[in-house]
Structure 1
């Protein structure tokens, strides 16, 4: 893969006026950094190009990973006219003009690759408008989106396009890009090694953002290379990518929940902090960690739910940022608590059984009998008062008559549920004894 672009053909005055990101725009697919998995010979795009059978695509990935560049280079590689529009600024009248121009171009023997940036911004009806032009070959559609296509794009459109997932750039990818920029600029960045790494981290996987940062830093002329602290004083760190209503929100809460379930307090605190740094409402997190205590710990540690509720109450009394510490402590406690979903499983099994047997009445001996007629019908007859029974346990049947006795709750041999298992076994032995 090439690491440097040939810019000799560009007049120096023009080069100076062009932003660095534009000057370093790849001129071939082999120059694209960070997407080898997709563009390599065994990758989906590499295979399509080798077979000369490019289909409509949806490029899904975070900002600054090369979606527009890849679309443009695909048009070059397949000798198609590249037409770019943005769903934010394009309405139905403009789309009609684009489709008409593509039809005329097709009659003249040239195809059109229509690149639609932010394609998820089109509503469902607008997305449907692309379908006939894709089907008759008027356009080859390449859409770009930062949102999950499964949620944002029509099933009909997705059935006619292959989704290509582009990855955020790694630190190694960003370092290669920074080196490429330094060769283009003809000088090294005035940064100490640790400050250089901090600069790469500031880009947060976004190549375009990195080149903008590099351009700023390259313009400085400090007396000596800058430290991380000095860099931080001159540059503001980019806000982490986080959409409180989008897929990233659900990805991060899933990571937090699974880290707690996996008994990893360090990972749990990391994802908890990531969500707070992204601007998540701590009350949402308080609700979710309480749910974790109920769902994944349950009676293995009955105190876990109380700790979560107290942390939630503490946050409500203290507010941010002090109250967030109480929530962080609850997260840590949950991660280290013994885990059991036996109560959760039992509850779901009981609900399922209730749906299947919802018309079955309770056995007569445990029904109340406030009237003579009800007593005559046998309500309450034969009920054994458990406090009068040996060991305070009568062993009577409390399920509907004729219903086979199920077992819903099966506690695990962890935490407090180990004691509950002993009690269940004890009651089971007594029940069997009463039947003898």
Structure 2
């Protein structure tokens, strides 16, 4: 039963409201849709969400009601794999992942030894995320601790819920980006103590991928993850076949690429594995057993020619799934554009991905994968008020198509397939507007 708010600073937002309580691929009543809805925010958190007609009389006198009728409000998008240092090298040509790393990624990341440069890129990156409706991301910094400080400093200014970490990389990389097993883990622990749970900032232990860490570094990273179980862990796995073959040559005793990480205690809740294209069923079963999550990166997988993610097998194993842009391998910061590419990747693999599920994966699915359900991802009372206002008439083509939709599924599908950053009318973090589109 809805109750009348009694204290705090209230704001209300009127629009179509969509959020999820479960995965619509498995549950018929997984979403909440209020065509004329009201979202009530109290001191940066959701107080209640529902039909406007039922809730409006509960508002304290004088509560501002922001009128977004004709638009949709959803929880802020959650991007579970993205590299902020690669912002300036997005859309760089290369024949595959490994030469792309050598030619563009490593030289670009070298610049982040300069705190001023890191701060400038972090500021642009976060503005670009919020312009695209993304309010939470799992972010890779560089090997430089100052790149992490710069990122979290800019995130904290905006009061965003962000997860990030210093890359660990002590071999198979240029000397100017190489740490050591000891220094990398020591610096990571210092950053954990400085930033983890500092406001809305959260830390992720971040080995780049198995080939660029010695066994000593992987062992120490796994021990660090065990010592700080509420931190996150993020890395790459099984992105392309050349990479998989390289890992096999470096770790000949491992059953699989994923088994390398498992051996060092890195499969656990709050661990996020990007790509996961070339896994087998044993890998997926192990991920499900350990509550390790998959970050699906369709735009970068297509851009680098890495392969097609297998939705059917991942779903059969019930591995937690989420979506990610993977900039700068990915070619757009927009989670709507990412949905577009995910739909096509799924179709090429024989899976029909409903729009309702795409929006789930970009919101509550991301929160669940990160073990943050109840904090972000939907409009349950007490969750943080991160949300995005979507305009189905943002472009002439989108307006023409959405005028002809006959169901919520059709409307969401049109927004996902035709939408981009222009579709985002406004973005809110902890109840404060952090982006407004200039019309």
Which TM-score bucket, shorter chain as reference?
under 0.3
TM-score normalised to structure 1 length: 0.22
| Structure whose CA Rg is larger | 1
Going by fraction, where is strand more abundant, 1 or 2? 2
Q: TM-score normalised to the size of structure 2? A: 0.22
Highest RCO, 1 vs 2 (Cα 8 Å, sep ≥ 6): 2
Higher helix share: 1
